[in-house]
Amino acid sequence: MPLPWPRWPAKPPGATGRRRALLVLAVALAIYLLRPLMPLLWLPGWVVGGLLLWAVVELLCWAWWPRRWR
């Protein structure tokens, strides 16, 4: 017997992209804020800058071209 209402998806539309963008931003900010600690002090500046740039690109891609729910 079919259900009288449509099944709702397990995740809302765009949830995976939103989660990925927040994860990338959290990792980049954590490395930036923990930079004065000794192990992270050995990272070159271009690595930290690359992580921050990657986070910004992920956020812009998520905002400008969101994945559409099908």
| pLDDT reading at 70 higher than 70 | no
Transcribe 25-69 into DSSP letters: HHHHHHHHHTTTSHHHHTS-HHHHHHHHHHHHHHHHHHHHSPPPP
Given this model, what pLDDT does residue 8 score? 61
Considering Cα of 22, then 27, then 32, then 37, what sign does the dihedral take? positive
Q: What is the pLDDT of residues 18-67, one digit of tens each?
A: 788 788 888 878 888 888 888 778 888 888 788 778 888 888 887 777 66
| Domain coordinates in residue numbering, the chain | 15-64
Q: How confident is the model at residue 2 (pLDDT cuts 50, 70, 90)?
A: low
